[in-house]
Amino acid sequence: MVYQVYPRSFQDSDGDGIGDLPGIEQRLDHLVALGVDVVWLSPVYRSPQDDNGYDISDYQDIDPMFGTLEDFDRLLTAAHDRGLRVVMDLVVNHSSDEHAWFRESRASRTDARRDWYWWRPAREGMEPGTPGAEPNNWRSFFGGPAWEYDEATGEYYLHLFSRKQPDLNWENPDVRRAVHDMMTWWLDRGVDGFRMDVINLISKVPGLPDGEVHYGAYGDGSPYYTSGPRVHEFLQEMHREVFAGRPEKLLTVGETPGVTIEDGVLFTDPERHEVDMVFQFEHVGIDHGSSKWDVKPLRLTDLKATFGRWQVGLAERGWNSLYWNNHDQPRIVSRFGDDGEHRVASAKALALLLHLHRGTPYVYQGEELGMTNAGFTSIDQYQDIESLGHFHELVDAGVATEEQMLVALRAMSRDNARTPVQWDASEHAGFTTGTPWLAVNPNHVTINAEAERADDGSVFHFYRRLVALRHDVPVVALGDFHMLAPDHEAVYAFTRTLDLPAPAEGPDGVASAASTASRDELLVLVNVGGAEQEVPPEVLAGWEGAEVLIATHDDAAARRAGVLRAWEGVVLRRS
């Protein structure tokens, strides 16, 4: 299991209200208790923090807010001593505009690094710097145009994210070489791999054509930069230059918004030497319309359809990553679960549903506690650049009212995931002795790690058991997946099946009677809702008398077969 730490919100050690590297070190034992294998650190590099560290001004240094390179080395050693591996966030679709590379690039049109970024003149016939004169009509991910006019040199630079995140030009081999060298430097320092930020956006269609306009003034450029023409070539080159031949066991995962299953297979087929796995976005796109602010209720059949297709699509070649949460997504218990009456049961049920799929599970800090959305009610409480950018763009353009946007942000804002981890019931939840950079959720008095570690029935202990099962029971990690009852709107059901090889022959060369191959099978049943549900009889046929491997409710084994209570999940096993 990979556990994501968002350092800013994990643990503060020096009272400045912002989490830091020594703070992470103080809390490593929590991760060990959970059974974590790998820790993914969101960016801790030197950064102006325009996008909380996803805007990097020096790839080979630590931001003073988080500590020093010595703190980093100490954390790495402390993690390794506990058997934890550490994966860095690699943010190389763009740098910060304060990176030395960009400062040089913007210095003049003839600078040797000019071509390291995407510079273009104004649209033909338009006055540079005037509205609509951008080289194309692409909208940035954070609202507004994807181009910034640079008066000094009279050209625009491309930024798919904020204007402080200029896109690097991967067409230039010197850019690629510089990135490879930097990655090698970190691997030599002892890190165990990379989570690659929006890595499928690094290759753009030459010509940068206008995109379709769905709303407002800007167009959707994604068809021209999502999994673009040279992306596989770039990743294969990276693999050759950085990873090939290294003796250590490394982990690579590409964040790939808009990736299709076909491309997912190409990215993750081990024989192609690109990345180990990708984060796809389909299942976090089914509860809203074309914009994430157009929020819709979840239909369970949509979730089954998308998960089912990815499970089948990557069954033979490729590998899935499994996630509900990260620093960009609202909290799952508030999103697809019930963060009121059924918070504990629904957090467990959703965890069970996800962790019994085939793939590598990711847990985002606080998810293992069943932490909930932030519950902010005023725009002043938000700090996230995406939330603020879209709020102002949509309200100013008259696409939504302030009230509508506040409702949407309450459901979908990235800040929902970024409130500090709730360690205990004390003031500021044990996160800091200072003033937290983002408000601590008041519910930390009841939802916190200290209380959950002391309670065997907690969400924390349930996650711990799920992680242990994956380590100990091969069918959980490796078994084939088969979806059942795809049209049922409340019960999520599937099987996992693994044929176990026959034990080796005895020393006399004679196979023992027990040597015939056997089959291990699981039936996973989850009630995704607050009303009792009958499990369709055809799903249960043949499972009479099977043992309960794990369940959200303690007394599941004793219950009348075939009925699931509110948010009840159970895994049956027969072998």
Q: Which positions are catalytic?
A: 197, 255
The verdict on 51 binding ligand NOJ (CB under 6 A) reads yes
Residue 201 or residue 528: which is nearer to ligand NOJ going by CB? 201
Q: Which residues of 150-167 are buried (b: 16+ CB within 10 A; e: fewer)?
A: beebebbbbbbbbbbbbb
The verdict on 263 binding ligand NOJ (CB under 6 A) reads no
Select the residue interacting with ligand NOJ from 198, 332, 440, 473 (CB under 6 A). Answer: 198
Q: Shortest gap between Cβ of 371 and ligand NOJ (angstroms)?
A: 18
Site for ligand NOJ in 95-124 (CB under 6 A): none
Q: Shortest gap between Cβ of 396 and ligand NOJ (angstroms)?
A: 22
Total binding residues toward ligand NOJ, as defined by CB under 6 A: 9
**Cα 369 from Cα 348, distance rounded (Å):** 10
CA 463 vs. chain centroid, Å, equals 17
Residue 219 or residue 257: which is nearer to ligand NOJ going by CB? 257
Q: Is 246 exposed, middle or buried (0-12, 13-18, 19+ CB in 10 A)?
A: exposed
Q: How far is CA 100 from CA 56, 93, 106, 167, 185, in A?
A: 10, 16, 10, 14, 18
Alpha helix (H) residue ranges in 338-435: 343-355, 385-396, 402-412
Select the residue interacting with ligand NOJ from 3, 6, 54, 157 (CB under 6 A). Answer: 54
Residue 328 or residue 339: which is nearer to ligand NOJ going by CB? 328
Residue 47 or residue 360: which is nearer to ligand NOJ going by CB? 47
Q: Which two tokens stand for residue 326?
A: 């990260």
Q: Shortest gap between Cβ of 185 and ligand NOJ (angstroms)?
A: 21
Q: Shortest gap between Cβ of 159 and ligand NOJ (angstroms)?
A: 10
Q: Shortest gap between Cβ of 89 and ligand NOJ (angstroms)?
A: 8
Site for ligand NOJ in 481-540 (CB under 6 A): none
Select the residue interacting with ligand NOJ from 25, 50, 167, 197 (CB under 6 A). Answer: 197
Residue 196 or residue 572: which is nearer to ligand NOJ going by CB? 196
Angle in degrees, CA 209, 210, 216, rounded to 5: 160
Letter for the amino acid at 227? S
Site for ligand NOJ in 396-415 (CB under 6 A): none
Select the residue interacting with ligand NOJ from 161, 243, 336, 364 (CB under 6 A). Answer: 161
Q: Which two tokens stand for residue 268?
A: 């993750």
Report the residue number whose CB is nearest to ligand NOJ: 54
Residue 6 or residue 319: which is nearer to ligand NOJ going by CB? 6
Q: Shortest gap between Cβ of 512 and ligand NOJ (angstroms)?
A: 53
Select the residue interacting with ligand NOJ from 25, 134, 328, 368 (CB under 6 A). Answer: 328
Q: How far is CA 479 from CA 238, 257, 522, in A?
A: 31, 27, 9
The verdict on 40 binding ligand NOJ (CB under 6 A) reads no
Q: Which residues of 44-71 are buried (b: 16+ CB within 10 A; e: fewer)?
A: bbbbebbbbbbbbbbbeebbebbbeeeb
Letter for the amino acid at 525? L
Residue 197 or residue 282: which is nearer to ligand NOJ going by CB? 197
Q: Shortest gap between Cβ of 51 and ligand NOJ (angstroms)?
A: 5
DSSP string, 160-178: SS-TTSPBB-TTSHHHHHH
Grouping H, G, I as helix, E, B as strand and the rest as coil, residue 142 is coil
Select the residue interacting with ligand NOJ from 2, 34, 56, 91 (CB under 6 A). Answer: 91
**Cα 119 from Cα 99, distance rounded (Å):** 16
Binding site for ligand NOJ (CB under 6 A): 51, 54, 91, 161, 197-198, 255, 327-328
